C-alpha cells in the first residue's frame, strides 16, 4: 500500500469548521494555480490572479454565511496523520440558489491526492446531500481552459448548458454545466 493509499484509508468527509479556513484558502489558491495558462500575456495572468483573490475575499471569506447559514453546505476531506493532526486535502461547496437549485463551487483536491477517486467521492457526497435536502438540480461554472475539470464533470453526468465570455478584457470562455438529480 502506498502512503497515499494508507492516508486515504483514514479519509473523512465532514462539514467545514472555521478552524479549516486557512487550509481551505490555500487549497483553493493552489488548485487554481495548478491550471497552466501557457501562452497568456501578463495582463491575462494578472487578471486571473485578481479573479482568484476576489473569490478569497468574497465567498471564501465568509464560508459560514455564503454556504452554511444560507441553506447550502461546505465540506472538506481530511486525513489524519500519525500524531492525529487533520490535514485538509480536498473541498467542495454547495451554494443554495432557490428551493431546488444548488451551485457547486470551489471544488479542489490537493496535489498528490489527485486521480485517486477523491473528487468523485466529494461529488457524490455533495449530490447525495443535495438530493436528501430536496434539490433537483446542481449547476456549476468553470473555465473552458480548465479542460480536466470540464471533462471530470461531464464524465459524471453534467451537461454543458451554455458558455459565456468571462470578461471583455480577458476573453476566456466560461463553461456552464448542470445535472438533474
- By C-alpha distance, which of 5, 6, 27 is closest to 16? 27
- CATH number of the domain at 34, please: 3.40.630.30
State how many domains the chain has.
1
pLDDT of residue 1: 46
Alpha-carbon Rg for the chain, nearest whole angstrom, is 16
User: Strand, helix or coil at 137?
Assistant: strand
pLDDT exceeds cutoff 90 at 156: yes
11-43 confidence digits (pLDDT tens):
999 999 999 999 999 999 888 877 655 556 676
Domain range holding 119? 3-180
Helices (H) and strands (E) in the chain, counts: 6, 7
- By C-alpha distance, which of 36, 89, 102, 95 is closest to 65? 95
The C-alpha angle with vertex 156 and arms to 107 and 88, in degrees rounded to 5, equals 25
Rounded Cα gap, residues 99 and 102, in angstroms: 8
137-153 confidence digits (pLDDT tens):
999 998 887 888 999 99
Say whether pTM exceeds 0.75. yes
62-113 confidence digits (pLDDT tens):
999 999 999 999 999 999 876 668 999 999 999 999 889 999 999 999 999 9
Amino acid at each position: 500500500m502506498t502512503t497515499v493509499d494508507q492516508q486515504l484509508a483514514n479519509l473523512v468527509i465532514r462539514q467545514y469548521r472555521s478552524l479549516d479556513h486557512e487550509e481551505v484558502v490555500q487549497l483553493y489558491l493552489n488548485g487554481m494555480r495548478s491550471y497552466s495558462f501557457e501562452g497568456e500575456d501578463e495582463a491575462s495572468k494578472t487578471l486571473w490572479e485578481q479573479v482568484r483573490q476576489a473569490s478569497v475575499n468574497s465567498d471564501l471569506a465568509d464560508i459560514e454565511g455564503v454556504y452554511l447559514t444560507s441553506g447550502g453546505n461546505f465540506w472538506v476531506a481530511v486525513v489524519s496523520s500519525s500524531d492525529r493532526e487533520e490535514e485538509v486535502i480536498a473541498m467542495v461547496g454547495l451554494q443554495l440558489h432557490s428551493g431546488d437549485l444548488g451551485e457547486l463551487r470551489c471544488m479542489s483536491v490537493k496535489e498528490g491526492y489527485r486521480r485517486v477517486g477523491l473528487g468523485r467521492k466529494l461529488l457524490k457526497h455533495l449530490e447525495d446531500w443535495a438530493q436528501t435536502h430536496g434539490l433537483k438540480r446542481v449547476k456549476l461554472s468553470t473555465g473552458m481552459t480548465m479542460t480536466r475539470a470540464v471533462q471530470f464533470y461531464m464524465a459524471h453526468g453534467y451537461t454543458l448548458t451554455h458558455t459565456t465570455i468571462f470578461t471583455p478584457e480577458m476573453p476566456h470562455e466560461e463553461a456552464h454545466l448542470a445535472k438533474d438529480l
